[in-house]
Amino acid sequence: MADGAVQVADGLPTSQTCFFQLRLPPYSSKTVMADRLRYAIHNCRSIDMDNYMLSRNMDAAGAAAAAGHPASDDEY
């Protein structure tokens, strides 16, 4: 990804509200995607938390790599 963020498979979506972008990581199914989107809509109410989400995604990517599931470099 251009901004250095790592997307973890089946992770939460991220957004850049100033650019009207919604980034969806790769999902294992449409059901998982729908669940993650619903969770984000109902529970992630803060904006301007870019550094928090970046560090959270980096931690999740490290955990995924340690478990043998490399993060994807694809941008959706």
> Looking at the annotation, which residues are catalytic?
18
Chain-centroid distance of CA 64 in Å reads: 13
C-beta separation of 3 from 68 below 8 A? no
C-beta separation of 12 from 44 below 8 A? yes
Which residues have CB under 8 Å from 47's CB, separation 6+? 17
Tokens 């980034």 label which residue?
23
